[in-house]
Structure 1
Amino acid sequence: MLLTTYRHAERDARDEMVTLMHELFKDEGEAKVGLVDVWYTGISGLLACRSSIDPFKVVRSLRSIAMDEPWRIRYILRLIPIEKVVNTSVEEISDACSELASLKIGKDESFRITVEKRMMHSLHSMEIIKAVASRIDRRVDLTNYDWLVLIEVVGKVTGVAVLKYDDVFSSIKVKRSLADSSV
């Protein structure tokens, strides 16, 4: 998973994530909870998180906390599930995306590709998008897509995921929706 936070709040976000994971999944068994690992990526405001808990379950659980007790999540801005991590090469990225898309995207469903690049200037987003799109035999829809093929390039490693709209947790969006509904 990738976790975004405010610049210079990485330590607080890490502590918040570890604490919440332990609280949320204490009933999953100590072995699973003990495998929570959060580390600094070298990019201000961006942390990586690895756990044996399903990242989609973590997102749903964080969203539930934010809906019930919005003040409890102070430093985690977004939590992005990553399904596969590969070396940053067009071939490895397109292989991983093709594999995930074939498992998740139905024949009559559409998709969009989004590339987020950090610490990588030699690889162009369009080059990645063209290679990945050529490997996914589904309809492309840039505005009303069913699935998002997310490619997160962080230097020499890349995380990929095939996501629905609400698979990414955003504490700001949850808090904004709560404020809008209370007016």
Structure 2
Amino acid sequence: MHISAEDADMLGDFALLATTARGNERAMVNEILYLLKDELGDIEAQAAKTKIRGLIVAKTVLDPLEVIAKFRVILSERPYAFRYAIRIVPIQYVVATDLAEIKKVTEVLATKIGETQTFRVTVEKRFTELHSMDIIQAAAGDIKRSVDLHNPDLILQIEVLGAQTGISLIKPTDILAVVKEKML
């Protein structure tokens, strides 16, 4: 089911965020729907353009981390199945773009960071007046774990899309960098 750009806000609980070249948003929506529905069997999958050029969101009943792992297998076996995707990021929680809301979710996710594990916060922000450092402070200010900016065990990924923010606690390998991986 294709959802128009005006209905993109309907995908408030999106599970995947995909980047594509500007102008390829509609093709990217079709590509991710094909991958989710035909390749992975999620007949309820939905995708939509956002008001941000080059960015689409998708909803799936499947676990977003498992989707990325399965996409990676498809990419290695049939790289031509990915014509428009540049990067696909799994999203575990979607909240209003509000520092208190972001803090609530990151406090829950922080409990999943092991005592010996390192982490970093990555913020990608679009259409917001919030400063990256304020977001990072709200998200990680109270996390009592070691930070490693260059080679972390886990990434607290914060994707701000205007009024909505997607948040995930993921391994660096959980982001599918399609273009880079095609070159390997």
Answer yes or no: is the 8 Å Cα contact 1:5–1:77 preserved in 2.
yes
Q: What are the ranges of 5 or more consecutive residues in structure 1 without an aligned counterpart?
A: 27-32, 178-183
What secondary structure does 1:18 align onto?
helix
Does residue 106 (structure 1) correspond to residue 104 (structure 2)? The answer is: no
Percentage identity across paired residues of the two chains: 38
- Name the stretch that deviates more: 111-120 or 127-136: 127-136
**Pairing partner for 2:125 from 106, 117, 136:** 117
Letter in 2 for 1:71: Y
**Pairing partner for 2:29 from 9, 14, 22:** 14
Does residue 42 (structure 1) correspond to residue 57 (structure 2)? The answer is: no
Computed over aligned residues only, the root mean square deviation of the Cα atoms, in angstroms, reads 1.0
Does residue 69 (structure 1) correspond to residue 78 (structure 2)? The answer is: yes
Answer yes or no: is the 8 Å Cα contact 2:45–2:59 preserved in 1.
yes
Letter in 2 for 1:109: Q
Q: CA deviation at 1:114?
A: 0.9
**Pairing partner for 2:175 from 146, 165, 168:** 168
TM-score by length of 2: 0.88
Aligned residues: 169
**1:116-161 CA deviation, whole Å, 9 max, x = no partner?**
10011x2100011112222212111111211100100000110000
TM-score by length of 1: 0.89
Which residue of 1 is the match for residue 103 of structure 2?
94
Answer yes or no: is the 8 Å Cα contact 2:106–2:140 preserved in 1.
no
Which residue of 1 is the match for residue 144 of structure 2?
137
Q: CA deviation at 1:62?
A: 1.1
List 4+ stretches of structure 1 deviating above 6 A. Answer: none
Answer yes or no: is the 8 Å Cα contact 2:20–2:54 preserved in 1.
yes
**CA–CA distance in 2 between the matches of 1:76 and 1:147?**
23
Q: What are the ranges of 5 or more consecutive residues in structure 2 without an aligned counterpart?
A: 1-15
Answer yes or no: is the 8 Å Cα contact 2:64–2:91 preserved in 1.
yes
Q: Which has the larger radius of gyration?
A: 1
What secondary structure does 1:77 align onto?
strand
Answer yes or no: is the 8 Å Cα contact 1:94–1:135 preserved in 2.
no
